[in-house]
Amino acid sequence: MKHLMAVCTLFLAMAFVAAAAQAKTTTLRGYVVDKACAGKMAQKSNAMEKAEGHTKDCALNDQCSASGYGIFSAGKFTPFDDAGSAKAKTMIEKSKREKGLYFEAKGTITDGTMAVTSLKEMTPKATMMKKGT
């Protein structure tokens, strides 16, 4: 019986560690794109370039905005949850940029979807370097 309790306690401890690892806050910097367009972009070899060229008008188009949003970071697309998508739409509406909607997203990623806790517009480093040359 003691052996069974020890095994159960071990499994329970491992489950808590796994849950804590999933709840870790992640910060991603990249281009916010609607999910409808992101699916097409992700299939391209130059997905980050496509994301950089994605326009505000397209992102706010009724069909595209209804699909929700996510972020292309380091060549990978991470979709936002519904609340994160709502934050993204508000931020895109306020943005003065017409394309290249570059943001920093913070949140937890569970099953590949980010629960966004913070989203702020930023200037991409590559753009700053191009302007400086």
Neighbours of 28 (CB within 10 A): 20
Asked, for residue 12, whether it belongs to a domain, the answer is no
Predicted confidence (pLDDT) at residue 128 exceeds the cutoff of 60: no
pTM over 0.85: no
Greater pLDDT, 119 or 11: 119
Instruction: Residue 59: name the closest of 88, 84, 30, 82 by CA.
Output: 88
Q: What is the model's pLDDT at position 3?
A: 57
- What is the extent of the structural domain holding 48? 25-132
For 48, the token pair is 């980050």
Asked, for residue 48, whether it belongs to a domain, the answer is yes
Confidence at 55, pLDDT banded by 50, 70, 90: very high
Pairing assessment for the beta strands 25-34 and 102-110 based on DSSP bridges: antiparallel
- pLDDT, mean over the chain: 85
* Mean pLDDT within 31-59: 94
Share of the chain above pLDDT 90, in %: 70
Helix (H) or strand (E) holding 34: strand 25-34
**What are phi and psi for residue 124, nearest 5 degrees?**
-65, 140
> How confident is the model over 64-116, as pLDDT tens digits?
999 999 999 999 999 999 999 999 999 999 999 999 999 999 999 999 999 99
Asked, for residue 18, whether it belongs to a domain, the answer is no
Predicted confidence (pLDDT) at residue 50 exceeds the cutoff of 50: yes
CATH label of the domain that carries residue 121: 2.40.50
Residue 26 pairs with which residues in a beta bridge? 107
**Total domains present in the chain:** 1
Q: What is the model's pLDDT at position 15?
A: 57
Asked, for residue 103, whether it belongs to a domain, the answer is yes
Asked, for residue 7, whether it belongs to a domain, the answer is no
Asked, for residue 19, whether it belongs to a domain, the answer is no
Q: What is the model's pLDDT at position 19?
A: 57
For 5, the token pair is 């309790």
For 39, the token pair is 């699916």
- CA end-to-end span of the chain: 72
Confidence at 52, pLDDT banded by 50, 70, 90: very high
Asked, for residue 104, whether it belongs to a domain, the answer is yes
